[in-house]
Chains A and B, each alone.
Chain A
Amino acid sequence: MNPRRKKRLTLFLSIAVLIGGAVSLMLYALTDSIDLFYTPSEIIEGKDGRKPQVGQRLRIGGMVVPGSVSRDSETLAVTFDLIDVGPKVSVQYTGILPDLFREGQGIVATGTLLDSRTIKAQEVLAKHDEEYMPPELAEKMKGIKHVKPDNAGN
């Protein structure tokens, strides 16, 4: 092998190693921060035949069950139930709920699964749009009861 080729080969190999290293670092970082999305019935009944495991980080999207929101009288702890088309899942959260959090409203929460039907949420999101529903949920509930109001109404 002539020196020039050798030089090129080393350059090529070192670039390949660098890129490989970078990609594997990236994937490693990704595994920690990907949150799978579930609806309440998917948490109870499983999604594609797999149920989420206790302690797993996940995202849940559902409608807040009217009348289920209960605040602790001394602290900011709150619990509420979420529902889509099947069974209910209860969510525990400590802190301030977003402005648009209301009963009957679609919300998304990120947290960990405490037991098969309880989630400890670190973050609760409600979109700044009254008609908002998490798209995953909207898909699931398509044609069931949610009718989007006419946009251009008066």
Chain B
Amino acid sequence: MVPEIGNISLTLALVVSILLAVYPLWGAYRQHDTLMATARPLAIGLFFFTLISFVCLVYAFVTDDFSLAYVAQHSNSRLPLHYKVTAVWGGHEGSFLLWVLMLSIWTVAVALFSRGIPHAMVSRVLSVLGMVSVGFYLFMLLTSNPFDSMLPFFPVDGRDLNPLLQDFGMIIHPPMLYMGYVGFSVAFAFAISALLSGQLDSTWARWSRPWVIAAWSFLSVGIALGSWWAYYELGWGGWWFWDPVENASFMPWLAGTALMHSLAVTEKRKAFKSWTVLLAIAAFSLSLLGTFLVRSGVIVSVHSFASDPTRGLFILGILVILSGFGLLLYALRASQLKSPGRYQAFSREVLLMGNNVLLCAATLVVLLGTLLPLVHKELGLGSISVGAPFFNQMFTWLVVPFVLFLGLGPLTRWKQQHVAALRNQLLLAFGLSISAAFLVSMSYSQPSYMAALGLTMAFWILITSIQEVLQRIGAMQDNDSMLRRLRKLTPSHWGMVLGHLGFAVTLIGISLVSNYEVERDVRMAPGETVSLGGYEFTFRDVVKHQGPNYDADIGIFDVFRNGEKVVHLEPEKRMYTVQRMPMTEAGIHSTLTRDLFIAMGEPLENGAWAVRIYIKPFVIWIWCGAAIMALGGACSISDRRYRMAKLARLKQTFSHPQTTTQTGEQS
């Protein structure tokens, strides 16, 4: 019964999305208010039906309804309850339902929070989102319906959730990641609507900015969670593998970062208009491309969804239609996208352009590295793989000028900046960052150039950010105290500072862990001690343990430093009984400056085990940095200037149509 309700409401959601794609747009075209007014209720209906459908699937999982093929393949009666719920998005069909749920959440959010935006514009945006939805709901119903039944012959028990997914990471990583992925559809919708309407002034940039920042923040958190999860769950202590699926999420992030900065220029300076539109289309297309790569099974990766050529083809179809439509519209309207802003060779505009060029170059590098093996194979040139060294080398080259611009950008004025006015400040920042990095590097017994470079870059960002805040409060014309002045800076300004500092923190983590990590694979029998990086790791014993749906060997380790006990760790080797799949649960002790990481390898003769022991300095900074970046995003969105409804009301009261209260502000 319940699965049927789910199935029906999914179909109803498709119907609603078709209506949403047609009516409001038609209304906007005909200037027909009643038709346009259907946009909000339809968006809410879309969300409502998708939610019912999702809840039905959750219910099927919780009640072990193995008559559904999807439940039978991804759950088991012995699975703990919270994993039964997360198993909903443990496979292709269910995770796609989560995906469309996210899409409907964004749609309804746009419907509810854009009261200040002109009616026709909201209608167009919601219609475009409706069109995107039509594609995805059709895809679900035709090729991957989670409510497909196995009646009349259904199994007694399910095949269990993949043990890798039975983890805390699974609860939050996919929702966050999808939220980010799908969020770029809003930017796409705004860009397309602006193109459709022909109102190509910079207002659409202001309207879509908070949405882009929100999607970008979710995506940052999602990617960081994925990286953290891989680090502690896969048992080899790596935090980024340049795996095609990681790349698939990284490309929209890079394009989204570029978009965020280019939108700022479009909003403030009315420049880069046509570029920004193109980026909005590109960011969403890259999200779709990522979906295609992951779901079609054309590339080999750790994230395996059962591959099915028709699914791949369908998503490719959606990708071609949506981006093709976007690009066609862009080609038709691009000539109207005049950017009146003029600027000199040394100005914030140019630095942000540099930022965009570098981010796009980085996107291309990832795209090339991910697709080359595919193209190579299709051309009949044989199978190849592009290794991590390629990506690492390219990103090392790209990040240096990127960070240089990142430091300069906020300090520089719009339009024109005299070099002389900044020279002393910059020399000071440069000198300070090099000497600080040098001092920190010297504290290591074997200084590494790459780590020193990474630290210099991080300090450069830190120091220029401080200088920028000081410059900003120094320019205030009042006699307030320091603290009062700091509080006068807008949240969106703090958002930018936090975003940049978060990047610096991640940079510190990456450069230190890549250059100073100590790792050793070693053969250990109970009672033996291995010393590594100033720590002594003592292997006490192995005990057997029986979990709800697995059997485990638990290694008992004590870690000492200078004779004093640091921590007791219990890494596990589990064997999940239903899928006959072994899993490694690492024992990790994290502090701000280093992680101790022990993982059980395989049992050897005479009770000995192969054991991995890693010491990873500052690895936690990588994910903290991402969290700070996302916090910066949240801070920016909270800025009053994005409260469209309030702005609209203000405009009415002052009856001053084009007041741009923001011209004085900079961020």
Chain A residues with CB under 8 Å of chain B are: 22, 25-26, 29-30, 32-37, 47-48, 59, 71, 73-76, 94-97, 99-100, 110, 127-130, 132, 134-136, 151-154
8 Å CB contact of A130 from B235, B397, B581: B581
Is B155 interfacial (CB 8 A cutoff)? yes
Are B162 and A47 in touch, CB under 8 angstroms? no
Are B390 and A29 in touch, CB under 8 angstroms? yes
Are A130 and B580 CB-contacts (below 8 A) given A76-B522, A95-B521? yes
B370 → A minimal CB distance (Å): 13
Are B382 and A33 in touch, CB under 8 angstroms? no
Please provide the chain B residues from 634 to 652 with a CB less than 8 Å away from any CB of chain A in the complex. none
Query: Interface-forming stretch among B134-142, B298-306, B469-477?
Result: B298-306
Are B386 and A130 in touch, CB under 8 angstroms? no
| A-contact 0/1 string along B353-370, CB 8 Å cutoff | 000000001000100100
Are A128 and B162 in touch, CB under 8 angstroms? yes
A60 → B minimal CB distance (Å): 11
Are A32 and B304 CB-contacts (below 8 A) given A26-B365, A48-B382, A95-B521? no
Are B73 and A135 in touch, CB under 8 angstroms? no
The total of interchain contacts (Cβ-Cβ below 8 angstroms) comes to 101
B residues within 8 A CB of A151? 73, 306
B residues within 8 A CB of A34? 372, 384-387, 390
Nearest-neighbor residue (CB-CB) of B300 within chain A = A135
Nearest-neighbor residue (CB-CB) of A77 within chain B = B523
A38 → B minimal CB distance (Å): 9
**Band of interface residues on B:** 35 or more
Please provide the chain B residues from 548 to 600 with a CB less than 8 Å away from any CB of chain A in the complex. 579-584
Are A26 and B394 in touch, CB under 8 angstroms? yes
Could you tell me the distance between the alpha carbons of A34 and B368 in the complex, rounded to whole angstroms? 12
Could you tell me the distance between the alpha carbons of A94 and B522 in the complex, rounded to whole angstroms? 10
A residues within 8 A CB of B523? 74-76
Could you tell me the distance between the alpha carbons of A47 and B382 in the complex, rounded to whole angstroms? 9
Are A37 and B579 CB-contacts (below 8 A) given A26-B368, A97-B602, A128-B162? no
B residues within 8 A CB of A130? 579-581
Are A33 and B300 in touch, CB under 8 angstroms? no
| A-contact 0/1 string along B211-246, CB 8 Å cutoff | 000000000000000000000000100000000000
Are A32 and B383 in touch, CB under 8 angstroms? no
- Top 10 A-B pairs, shortest CB-CB distance: A154-B155, A96-B601, A37-B383, A33-B390, A33-B387, A99-B582, A33-B389, A95-B521, A96-B610, A29-B393
Are B397 and A25 in touch, CB under 8 angstroms? yes
Are A136 and B155 in touch, CB under 8 angstroms? no
| Residue among A71, A74, A135, A154 having the largest count of chain B Cβ atoms under 10 Å | A154
Is B605 interfacial (CB 8 A cutoff)? yes
A residues within 8 A CB of B579? 130
B residues within 8 A CB of A100? 581-582
A30 → B minimal CB distance (Å): 6
Please provide the chain B residues from 144 to 162 with a CB less than 8 Å away from any CB of chain A in the complex. 150, 155-157, 159, 162
Are B385 and A96 in touch, CB under 8 angstroms? no
Are A132 and B393 in touch, CB under 8 angstroms? no
